[in-house]
């Protein structure tokens, strides 16, 4: 495929851009393979100097057009929730621009996306990709205990296609046992170490659901693996992110959850969390409510409640607190899983670490957490972030589970303003880059896919850019003071607030401006 085939018109003069937070700008609109560019004539609007808009076409979620006999308008609704309107002279020009944007913004091939073409002069391709290796995290654990080892059983991604090549597992369990346990879990996601709590030596594990099925199948190797995670005489907790009813229904479909008889040292708890379509629909309703300026106060509050977004926040924080409480106060090991183990499971394990571990609340520690618990752990970013809240396309696998995590972290930062080294701006940048980015960090669904696409060899890392001194200072919290204590958030209704900035994001940072 050639990009030129998708561009019906490359340049149009006298196009006017309107968007919230900025005076209308008139100038020349250009379409390239990956960007929409609008450059104003100097002083063209009578007040401002030269203005340039560079918008990644991948960021466009929906294109809405209206045409008349001699002109037309196009409304661009972006995945990061910005809305832009273009007034275009000429009906034919309007239709051709609309067709070009729709075609270019929906290119599915990962290797045709902008990160594979982006080459800033100040950065090298290799920078940033090795900042947070699992081996380094394992070495930190190895200084505390010899009960865990780094296994390369998944070196060729044949045991579990969504796991990284190396995983941390009990020393007492060999690789053959791991392979057999993997066949007993959906997608091969057998239990592996997610976090080691240095304070008391407890561990946080994650996996996918066991394939118990209606006949209540057993797997001695899986039972051995979970037993090896516990010290003699210890008991652990299994936190299932589905309801008891949903777990029971999953057993009828070949899945299920661990039985008491087969795993006598583990007690099962449920912290049901929504994912998939219900979560995406909640996000859509939330954005619709925030964009409707005609609502009365009562109607606005009613629509906010009916979106259930704050209820999802409460559920995620409550389940993460449950996992943290089991480790910190009960001094027990915890295994978290739902069905696939790539969505709500990662949400809970990542949030629990922010709550428990002060290192995960530093700027570099938080980036390392994202690398371990979301990127390398196999969260399918390509599927989940294919569409945002405006798309008219039929929902497939989209779900804002990572945005929900960022919102939960924002709630923690608001309740504990001195305990997070990074600020809200970092969370907003991460939100934007998961949906559309110049960097390859959030591309693909797994490490296996990133290896096949040679992402680390052919794209730049977001971490390399974020850690440049000029960028890093934008993301630091000036109130930060190191806090070694666990931060227990309140999930009472009066304690949770709507995170407004993603919903009312100003367009101006996207502009290059001169003479303002």
Determine the Cα–Cα distance for residues 99 and 452; give it in Å rounded to an integer: 31
What is the pLDDT, as a whole number, of residue 41? 67
- Spatial contact of 22 and 30, defined as CB atoms under 8 Å apart: no
Partners of 30 in beta bridges: 11, 37
What is the pLDDT, as a whole number, of residue 395? 77
Instruction: Label residue 232 by pLDDT band (50, 70, 90).
Output: confident
Which pTM was predicted? 0.94
Arithmetic mean of pLDDT over the chain:
92
SS3 209: coil
Percent of residues, the chain, with pLDDT higher than 70: 96
What is the pLDDT, as a whole number, of residue 42? 59
What is the pLDDT, as a whole number, of residue 512? 41
Determine the Cα–Cα distance for residues 470 and 463; give it in Å rounded to an integer: 13
Is the predicted pLDDT of residue 106 greater than 50, yes or no? yes
SS3 309: helix
**Strands of the sheet with 333-337, listed across from one edge:** 192-197, 202-206, 333-337, 236-240, 266-270
Determine the Cα–Cα distance for residues 469 and 303; give it in Å rounded to an integer: 42
Mean pLDDT of 349-361: 98
What is the pLDDT, as a whole number, of residue 287? 93
What is the pLDDT, as a whole number, of residue 507? 45
pLDDT in tens, 256-300: 999 999 999 999 999 999 988 999 999 999 999 988 888 888 998
What is the pLDDT, as a whole number, of residue 196? 97
What is the pLDDT, as a whole number, of residue 356? 98
What is the pLDDT, as a whole number, of residue 509? 40
pLDDT in tens, 47-88: 555 778 889 999 999 999 998 878 899 999 999 999 999 999
- Spatial contact of 332 and 202, defined as CB atoms under 8 Å apart: yes
Determine the Cα–Cα distance for residues 500 and 480; give it in Å rounded to an integer: 22
Instruction: Label residue 154 by pLDDT band (50, 70, 90).
Output: very high
What is the pLDDT, as a whole number, of residue 499? 93
CA nearest neighbour of 109 among 396, 449, 514, 506: 449
Partners of 334 in beta bridges: 204, 237
Determine the Cα–Cα distance for residues 390 and 395; give it in Å rounded to an integer: 11
Is the predicted pLDDT of residue 514 greater than 60, yes or no? no
What is the pLDDT, as a whole number, of residue 511? 43
Determine the Cα–Cα distance for residues 235 and 232; give it in Å rounded to an integer: 9
Is the predicted pLDDT of residue 508 greater than 60, yes or no? no
CA nearest neighbour of 440 among 59, 54, 79, 118: 118
Angle CA(385)–CA(386)–CA(389) in degrees, nearest 5?
A: 75
pLDDT in tens, 388-446: 999 988 778 999 999 999 999 999 999 999 999 999 999 999 999 999 999 999 999 99
511 or 179, greater pLDDT: 179
Is the predicted pLDDT of residue 464 greater than 90, yes or no? yes
CA atoms within 13 A on the CB side of 200: 17
């Amino acid at each position: 495929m050639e990009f030129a085939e998708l561009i019906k018109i490359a340049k149009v003069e006298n196009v006017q851009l309107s968007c919230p937070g900025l005076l209308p700008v008139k100038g020349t609109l250009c379409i390239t393979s990956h960007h929409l560019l609008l450059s104003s004539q100097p002083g063209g609007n009578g007040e401002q100097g030269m203005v340039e808009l560079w918008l990644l076409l991948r960021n466009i979620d929906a294109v809405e057009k209206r045409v008349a006999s001699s002109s037309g308008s196009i409304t661009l609704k972006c995945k990061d929730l910005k809305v832009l309107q273009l007034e275009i002279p000429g009906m034919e020009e309007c239709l051709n621009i609309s067709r070009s944007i729709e075609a270019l913004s929906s290119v599915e091939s990962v290797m045709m996306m902008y990160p594979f073409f982006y080459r800033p002069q100040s950065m090298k391709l290799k920078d940033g990709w090795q900042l947070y290796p699992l081996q380094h995290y394992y070495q930190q654990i190895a200084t505390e205990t010899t009960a865990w080892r780094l296994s390369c059983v998944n070196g060729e991604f044949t045991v579990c296609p969504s796991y990284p090549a190396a995983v941390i597992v009990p020393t007492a369990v060999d690789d053959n046992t791991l392979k057999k346990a993997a066949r007993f879990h959906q997608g091969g996601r057998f239990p592996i170490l997610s976090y080691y709590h240095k304070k008391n030596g407890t561990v946080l594990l994650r996996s996918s659901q066991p394939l118990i099925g209606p006949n209540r199948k057993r797997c001695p190797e899986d039972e051995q693996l979970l037993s090896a995670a516990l010290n003699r005489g210890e008991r652990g907790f299994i936190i299932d992110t589905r309801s008891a009813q949903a777990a029971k229904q999953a057993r009828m479909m070949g899945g299920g959850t661990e039985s008491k008889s087969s795993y006598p040292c583990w007690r099962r708890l449920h912290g049901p969390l929504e994912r998939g379509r219900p979560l995406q629909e909640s996000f859509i309703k939330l954005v619709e409510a925030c964009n409707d300026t005609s609502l009365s106060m009562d109607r606005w509050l009613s629509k906010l409640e009916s979106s259930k977004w704050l209820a999802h926040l409460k559920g995620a924080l409550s389940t993460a607190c449950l996992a943290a409480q089991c480790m910190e106060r009960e001094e027990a090991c915890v295994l978290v899983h739902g069905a696939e183990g790539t969505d709500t499971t990662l949400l809970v394990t990542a949030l629990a670490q922010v709550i428990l571990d002060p290192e995960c609340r530093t700027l570099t520690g938080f980036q390392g957490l994202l690398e371990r618990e979301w990127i390398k752990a196999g969260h399918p970013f390509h599927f989940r972030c294919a569409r945002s809240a405006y798309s008219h396309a039929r929902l497939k696998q989209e779900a804002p589970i990572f945005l929900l995590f960022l919102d939960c972290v924002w709630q923690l930062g608001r309740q504990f303003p001195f305990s997070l080294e990074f600020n809200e701006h970092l969370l907003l940048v991460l939100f934007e880059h998961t949906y559309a980015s110049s960097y390859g960090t959030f591309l693909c669904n797994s490490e296996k896919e990133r290896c096949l696409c040679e992402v680390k060899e052919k794209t730049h890392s977001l971490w390399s850019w974020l850690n440049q001194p000029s960028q890093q200072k934008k993301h630091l919290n000036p109130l930060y003071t190191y806090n070694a204590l666990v931060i227990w958030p309140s999930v009472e209704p009066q304690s949770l607030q709507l995170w407004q900035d993603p919903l009312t994001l100003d367009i101006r940072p996207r502009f290059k401006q001169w003479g303002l």
